[in-house]
Amino acid sequence: MAKKDYTAMARGIVAKAGGEGNIVSATHCMTRLRLVLRDTAQFDTDGVKAVPGVLNVIIQNGEYQVVIGQDVPDLYAEIQKFEGIKAGGAVEDAQAAAADAKLQHGNVINGILSFIGGTFSPVIPVLVAGGLTGAVLSLLTSVFGVSAESGTYTIVYAINQATFYFLPVFIGFAAANRLKANGYLGAFLGAILLYSTINGAEGLDFFGIPVQTVTYSSTVFPVILGVLFMSVVYKFLQKHTPVFLKTIVVPLLTMLITVPVTLIVLGPIGNTLGTWLANGVYAIYQAVPPIAVMIIGITTPLMVFFGMNNATYPVVFALMAAVNSDPLICTGMAPANVAVGGACLAAALLAKSVEEKSVSVSAGVTALCGITEPGVYGVLFPKTYPLIGAMIGGGVGGLLAGLLGMTQYVISTPGFISIAAYIDPSGSSYNLMVSLLVMVVALVIGFVATYLVGKRMSAK
């Protein structure tokens, strides 16, 4: 496949989106360019899809997501060169913001999923980098003999622990940006929750109102609820405060109102919700582990297609907090992702044109590394039979993972590229061997099932 011309792609997308004057803001996640528009009627969906290099267009909660692949940062760099486009996700156009809010009220479920996905997507690189350092620590101590008392261990350990300890800060920033509030105030709220006299403190009160003891480190629900409330306060004050007082009054009153309400009401509620979620999901897993993981393995390509995969992160964090690993979501997605890779490679073998072969091979290799959007949008759904093969491979792999007790110890993109995430911190090699076996089986079955189904369909 020829090298992408990102300059031409950017021009084509902007033109078909109604021009740079119609784009209020542009951001990107791991695989998608995300646009907020002034006039959605000017967006030519078919025209954008026809731009070379574009895999698909997904419309969620008023946001137009152009699926590119993991090279989307290269395209985004070209988008940033348009002076009329606001980068970074801040929506300053009141009319566009109001229209977006109206769309959110029109579809509550879609809005919730879009909010969750948009909040966690920007944090994924931090989670991957910090999470995998846990596996690096295991290798340093078990293979290279690095002492746990050494400075080297201390530094790498700090990278790993800071990622999750300060998670409320990252989530607070991303959630506030997603809600079109002030991201730094969202991060500030997360930092306050982690302050030594607040985090896990006992016997606190606010003007005589008792503050429940909650440990906020590594949590997500308390800060999300707090930022949701904060965004309402912030927007109200922004609207009703005189311009010459906004710089001082808005941030001050926002935090003086938000922090006590979060500590007294929202934080404890969020902590309870997280506990209930973890206990509920883990109870389902314990009841029928093989079936539970198999369902994740089968449905992962569908979740990716509908943009619901990032909405599973709260469940993953809840499981991590409860049992120190994820035996369900990421564990089921690992065989599903590599099965997509196997299906794409089989589709390449069956493809008749050079271009189709090239696209399928590229998408297959990418999926083996854990990034399946190019395969899902570019191969599985357009051809249908690779989707069937991938779901069969993912289902069988998930069933096997559940039977053998596979789990993922750190949050990372499930696939061969993150194999270190399956290293048991205790030093046992069982889970690593099981994980390799599960993914190889899913890859092979995904490939074979796709090839057989594809051959049968082409013979009709």
Is 177 in a helix, a strand, or coil? helix
Closest CA to 61 of 106, 3, 123: 106
Judged on CB neighbours under 10 Å (0-12, 13-18, 19+), 325 is: buried
Of 219, 232, 224, residue with least CA distance to 186: 224
* Cross-strand pairs, 35: 26, 64
- CB-CB contact of 42 with 17 (8 Å): yes
Q: What are the φ and ψ backbone dihedral angles of 287, each rounded to 5 degrees? A: -65, -50
Name the residue type at position 435.
S
- CB–CB of 98/62 below 8 Å? no
CA angle 19–23–29, rounded 5-degree value: 120
Residue 90, CA atoms < 13 Å, CB-side half-sphere:
9
At 400, the amino acid letter reads L
Do the beta carbons of residue 194 and residue 166 sit within 8 Å? yes
Which run of H or of E encompasses 25?
strand 23-28
Q: Please list, in sequence order, all residues whose beta carbon lies within 8 angstroms of the beta carbon of residue 308, skipping any fewer than 6 positions away.
A: 113, 117
d(CA 377, CA 57): 9
The Cα 335–Cα 404 span in angstroms is 13
Q: Is 29 a catalytic residue?
A: yes
**Strand residues in 29-181 grouped as ranges (E):** 32-37, 56-60, 63-67, 86-87
- Token code pair at residue 424: 């048991």
Active site residues: 29
